């Protein structure tokens, strides 16, 4: 996913554009670029790599002007070089694009046949040329864009400036988010409200297919058919401070430490503390009639779904199918009329998950969305919106969104069980009481930050690391491995503890640390037997358990991490903390870029 911003201003825009890019750098950081209009000229500056390289470029070659667009890129088509960096431009227009133009090959061929020279390997540049051709043939900017948009297939958010019209930016949205911001005598466009947070809180979320003419005094919004439409102006809750690290070294670290607060915040909108009951939003949907739940998500959100499968099946006795979104539609899933399909996503914009959501909608499923961005596409297309209240998550590696997803999913599973008559009032009170203990237990888990930091050097030199867990802690093993891979670049695998002996145990030697997640409880003995199988083969074990578990099985491990003793229901939330902290501290020892790991972007809006 890329980030785009545009300002039709009444003073110099360059610094504000760069600040907007800084707030969106988590969306992609392969290259960055800017284009202003000054003295009837398009002034374009671009740089490969992180935003700081563009800032250096601008220090040497300033970009004056009171109107401009800017872009931070996560490369899809074309290597992350300067020539592939946005904005793409002709003599007449410049544009920035987030998304993928699927028919770009045909359009490139057509442009080449017309004798146009394309400078980049991107799919985006074709749009600049198509709009430019219309302008060169005498079309006004509005007509030029209206002619070209129907020719584009795929997903896009676009912002386009026109050399001869230094008073307007045209934006368009199909499949990728775009918001309009209202200033005083100025107007803005951005990929999200966070990018515009220091500029304005007054925003409009464009609808699918909308395109918009942005001028200093206001905007004209057109729908996909070209009709002028009104869209609501909302007050955004995005605060500029949410995109600051405060006293923390990294966003990821800040977000790990925010978990007790944001999980409590999330739980408070799903549970009633006064009488320990589940209190979900009122839905116009009979949840007791659900006979099958389909869960679809990607990455960390998928692992939250895996944990939830245990809860739905255990509490509500309802079968759960779970898929990674990129596979879901292609296996031609059997979806019975009237099923509940749940989509879990921090961003609410992940293209694979969104496509799966639409597929389920077309196939008669009721759509539930557990999302952290309440204005996202998934939130808007869902029948049942179940927001997490994690606040903006900027670190590319997801942390607090995960534990908040777990909080919502546990409450939903209990709610379904209550509605189905499968959970008595006393059981409901017990479950709610355990969930309400989670924030305090997360705090206790965070108290072990220093211990984890001091053992990170044991893991940092490893080439491979294994994570083991059983039951609902198995997805935590997968999550631990994902966190380590993505931010420390160490190869890691998560396995169900009992599955080790069926093959992966062949990997064990004294160079492969094995992280065992084993809270004391019903599965403890079996987990420890599996751990012993590893140790018997020279495996170097790090045991994560509570005091009781460590007393029983901690001897002989290369390190142990103590967690508070918790009810098994909340163990997946609490054990998320040590796996996140371990990955974080190992990455710090290795000196990798924790918040912006290589090759990644915060949310992936391409399939």
Q: Which residues are catalytic?
A: 2, 602
Using alpha carbons, select from 120, 22, 17, 21 the residue that is nearest to residue 75: 120
Cα(478)–Cα(484) distance, rounded to whole angstroms?
10
Cα(230)–Cα(218) distance, rounded to whole angstroms?
12
In this complex, which beta carbon is closest to ligand F6R, that of residue 13 or of residue 307? 307
Using alpha carbons, select from 164, 178, 289, 199 the residue that is nearest to residue 9: 199
* Dihedral over alpha carbons 423, 427, 430, 432 (to 10 degrees): 20
In this complex, which beta carbon is closest to ligand F6R, that of residue 347 or of residue 488? 347
Residue 372 near residue 270, CB atoms below 8 Å? no
Q: How far is the CB of 591 from ligand F6R (least distance, A)?
A: 19
In this complex, which beta carbon is closest to ligand F6R, that of residue 149 or of residue 390? 390
Q: Scanning the structure block, which residue is given the tokens 């597929």?
A: 359
Give CA angle at 392 (389, 397), nearest 5°.
105
Q: How far is the CB of 420 from ligand F6R (least distance, A)?
A: 28
Neighbours of 548 (CB within 10 A): 13
Q: How far is the CB of 479 from ligand F6R (least distance, A)?
A: 8
Q: Which residues lie below 8 Å from residue 152, measured CB to CB, with a gap of 6+?
A: 101, 103, 127, 174
In this complex, which beta carbon is closest to ligand F6R, that of residue 176 or of residue 347? 347
Residues that bind ligand F6R (CB under 6 A): 298-301, 345-347, 350, 353, 397-398, 482, 486, 603-604
Residue, CB closest to ligand F6R: 299
> Phi, psi at residue 498, to the nearest 5°?
-70, -10
Q: How far is the CB of 353 from ligand F6R (least distance, A)?
A: 5
Note the Cα 301 to chain centre separation in Å: 9
Q: Which residues lie below 8 Å from residue 70, measured CB to CB, with a gap of 6+?
A: 4, 5, 6, 17, 18, 20, 21, 32, 33, 34, 35, 87, 96
Q: Scanning the structure block, which residue is given the tokens 């030697």?
A: 509
Peptide bond into 87 cis (omega under 30): yes
Residue 415 near residue 443, CB atoms below 8 Å? no
Give CA angle at 26 (398, 485), nearest 5°.
45
In this complex, which beta carbon is closest to ligand F6R, that of residue 256 or of residue 550? 256
Cα(136)–Cα(149) distance, rounded to whole angstroms?
17
Q: How far is the CB of 228 from ligand F6R (least distance, A)?
A: 33
In this complex, which beta carbon is closest to ligand F6R, that of residue 191 or of residue 350? 350
In this complex, which beta carbon is closest to ligand F6R, that of residue 357 or of residue 563? 357
Using alpha carbons, select from 118, 114, 81 the residue that is nearest to residue 101: 118
Q: How far is the CB of 357 from ligand F6R (least distance, A)?
A: 11
Residues in the chain: 607
Using alpha carbons, select from 153, 113, 145 the residue that is nearest to residue 128: 145
Cα(77)–Cα(301) distance, rounded to whole angstroms?
26
In this complex, which beta carbon is closest to ligand F6R, that of residue 299 or of residue 339? 299
Q: How far is the CB of 299 from ligand F6R (least distance, A)?
A: 2
In this complex, which beta carbon is closest to ligand F6R, that of residue 72 or of residue 346? 346
Q: How far is the CB of 73 from ligand F6R (least distance, A)?
A: 17
Which residues is 186 bridged to in the sheet? none
Q: How far is the CB of 300 from ligand F6R (least distance, A)?
A: 3
């Amino acid at each position: 996913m890329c980030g785009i911003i545009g300002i039709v201003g009444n003073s110099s825009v360059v610094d504000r554009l760069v600040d907007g890019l800084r707030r969106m750098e988590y969306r992609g950081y392969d290259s960055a670029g800017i284009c202003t209009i000054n003295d009837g000229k398009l002034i374009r500056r671009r740089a490969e790599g992180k935003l700081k390289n563009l800032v250096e470029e601008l220090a040497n070659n300033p970009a004056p002007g009171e109107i401009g667009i800017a872009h931070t890129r996560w490369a899809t088509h074309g290597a992350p070089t300067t020539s592939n960096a946005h904005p793409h431009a002709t003599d007449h227009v410049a544009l920035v694009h987030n998304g993928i133009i699927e028919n770009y090959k045909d359009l490139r061929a057509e442009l080449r046949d017309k004798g146009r020279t394309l400078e980049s390997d991107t799919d985006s540049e074709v749009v600049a040329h198509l709009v430019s051709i219309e302008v060169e043939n005498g079309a006004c900017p509005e007509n030029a864009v209206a002619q070209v948009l129907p020719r584009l297939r795929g997903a896009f958010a676009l912002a386009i400036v026109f050399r001869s019209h230094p008073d307007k930016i045209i934006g368009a949205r199909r499949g990728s988010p775009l918001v309009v911001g209202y200033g005083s005598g100025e107007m803005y466009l951005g990929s999200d409200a966070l990018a515009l947070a220091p500029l304005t809180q007054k925003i409009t979320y464009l609808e699918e297919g909308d395109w918009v003419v942005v001028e200093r005094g206001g905007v004209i919004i057109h729908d996909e058919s070209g009709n002028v439409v009104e869209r609501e102006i909302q007050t955004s809750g995005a605060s500029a401070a949410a995109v600051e690290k405060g006293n923390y070294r990294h966003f990821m670290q800040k977000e790990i430490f925010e978990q007790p607060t944001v999980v409590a915040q999330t739980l408070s909108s799903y549970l009633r503390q006064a009488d320990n009951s589940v209190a979900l939003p009122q839905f116009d949907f009979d949840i007791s009639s659900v006979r099958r739940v389909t869960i679809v998500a990607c990455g960390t959100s998928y692992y939250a779904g895996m944990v939830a499968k245990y809860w739905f099946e255990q509490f509500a006795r309802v079968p759960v199918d779970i898929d990674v979104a990129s596979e879901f539609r292609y296996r031609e899933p059997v979806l019975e009329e009237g099923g509940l399909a749940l989509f879990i996503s921090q961003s609410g914009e992940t293209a694979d998950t969104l496509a799966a959501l639409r597929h389920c909608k077309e196939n008669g499923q009721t759509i539930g969305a557990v999302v952290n961005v309440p204005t996202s596409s998934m939130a808007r297309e869902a029948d049942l919106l179940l927001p997490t209240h994690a606040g903006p998550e900027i670190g590319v590696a997801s942390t607090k969104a995960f534990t908040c997803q777990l909080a919502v999913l546990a409450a939903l599973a209990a709610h379904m069980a209550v509605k189905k008559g499968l959970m008595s009032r006393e059981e409901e009170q017990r479950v709610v009481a355990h969930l309400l203990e989670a924030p305090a237990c997360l705090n206790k888990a965070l108290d072990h930050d220093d211990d984890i930091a001091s053992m990170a050097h044991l893991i940092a030199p490893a080439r491979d690391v294994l994570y083991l867990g059983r039951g609902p802690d198995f997805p935590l093993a997968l999550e631990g491995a994902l966190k380590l891979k993505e931010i420390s670049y160490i190869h890691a695998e998560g396995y169900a503890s009992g599955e080790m002996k069926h093959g992966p145990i062949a990997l064990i030697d004294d160079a492969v640390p094995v992280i065992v997640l084993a809270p004391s409880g019903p599965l403890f003995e079996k987990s420890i037997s599996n751990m012993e199988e590893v140790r018997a083969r020279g495996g170097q074990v790090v045991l994560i358990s509570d005091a009781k578990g460590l007393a029983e099985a901690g001897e002989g491990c290369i390190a142990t991490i103590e967690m508070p003793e918790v009810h098994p229901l909340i163990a997946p939330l609490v054990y998320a903390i040590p796996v996140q902290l371990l990955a974080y501290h190992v990455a710090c020892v290795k000196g990798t870029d924790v918040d912006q790991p290589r090759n990644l972007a915060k949310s992936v809006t391409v399939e």
